[in-house]
Structure 1
């Protein structure tokens, strides 16, 4: 790769920039043994095949199968509806929002709101619509409920229950669960969620790849970014591994400085869904045993006008993680027109909108730094498949490493199950 797709800039987390609220410049060295242990614990399991999520870029066979299926779908359908929720939806949505191309229109209803879901179905040509039911377990309540409604709608509008079979793709466990049984019974095309890959780590499995490919995302570029990131993740040295450095710094700011809240703030609208994807990854992986960091999402410059006051003068419990984009696809300079000589306008005339957005980010970062508020920056040269693939893999590794530092298992979610059990009991009490 000719240019680095991503840079990690943590300078404004240190005490020489933000004073007593920041970390000692030697904090990563002091944390060294813990970082080494956290890195080794994850990569030993990756090497054994127990945790394949950091090596998915090596799975060319799955990528080629996904691309082949997506090409076939593009020749037959206009729309794809993803029936999934949480990790079965957020990753694909993030890839498409940032990188979507000239493929199918992809919809992520992502909930059981009957008004929204019904309006979506009403507006679709069901003959020209494909459905992708995604559930790692094969029995997620929301996904199965959506699927049963769609099956009835297809029967009513297309003439038979069988009409859905040629328009449905299933992504689920390779061996068990309702969706796998349905796929076998009806001969449905299907993809597998690899064992050992949880939903929030599944964006680079067919869970995220198939919807993205159908939308026209350049997955070859995404895989190049993943490979670039994987080279850096192999190192146990935080000076060479940005995920390990970031995990150590964010953990230290929580443990030493009482800053458990991390606000992820991309200065690009196309990355809004990426920040939302990260929020699930961070919260569900680390919020356990009465502790854990708290993710917040925002978008610059929009949320300078809603959240910045809190960041600047609110409780000293937050770290702001910016994503800055050096170059946008479009150039939109501010024209002089007939108002360019007004002193309230003249200073911005001639600047490109993207440049203004970058300066707003830099101004916000500098203001936070001067106020003693720790902040870091992830810098992308542009929103490209390579940069997004690199960032998403690095933040997955960062989350896994942080689990070791916090002393929790980042790959389970025991707190989620109780609500599911109660909901099923309530629904069964007819």
Structure 2
């Protein structure tokens, strides 16, 4: 251990250290501890900040997870080391075990050699005369672990002012660790939701061209309440659904996951769009503010080489069809919101797409994108239809990407709602031999 040659480490100076210096230390510690929500960086900061003012060596022992516990150690010369020990090792260091579990909140001063059972958390060459102070790291009333401060024999032992300063520091450090741990858990949950709710890649199906775009709202942790799914049918063509659930963020994502899982399960049976909507409506009834807009259906190659698209809807924006002559038609689908009424009204519509014609499904994140020259104007249904009319001949994927691009440009960097786009397109007319170059 080092520190015996530092004047501020002498017993008299340490016992009578001016209160403003200690207050400044706590103030600086509060700023440093709150500078990051990354649990690993916060852990390293907790161990490093107490050196050399309070100790020559610091070890943070985290709560037990499973059958092991993690520790991080900071020592002289900016040395740091991390590791894990079996949960049983804590039983060989009962003061640390009590602090980690929250059983004993009082600080404890003891010979450092009593902590040898922590299997490497303390260095093996520790001076036999070193002294340790064990302090609970309390965060929001729950233990965030234990802080072990170690002084070599050349330094004075821990006195009441040191213990009180360590206790105040541990309270701040414990809260910082608890906050970082909570944030890490939320980040992990968000990542899992994002991975599970992100649309699956579009299938490759003969006779059907597909395109899609998907941009969750940033303010909702990039967890979207918009969703779509396309699956190849065992006979021919594809089945699909496209919707937007009520709400934002994680709550909406959970509902979107429920809706998608239900519809995918129904697709394994002899699926029929209106029947599926009625069954989903029954499932969602009785849950306050749990409803969705939805378009579901199928697209199959027609005898003339086009597509026959069957759709059923529940309160969603009407799909748009781009015809070969540049006309844009709305597909009228009567239907109430899914999950609101015990006796809903759903209808079924059949559309025919000739060679190259397409159907565009979109969420209100497109038409209600607020921006433009004033920054407050909606993109709107009419502007979308006028723009779509100029895209005849573009493949499905390019149309979907162009809708997302124009919406993003219209927003001009402003916050936006979830954006989802799905395009179903009939294959282009085969080239005649005399047309070939």
Same fold (TM over 0.5): no
Which protein is richer in helix relative to its size?
A: 1
Give the greater-gyration-radius structure (CA). 2
TM-score range relative to shorter protein: under 0.3
Higher relative contact order (CA 8 A, sep 6+): 1
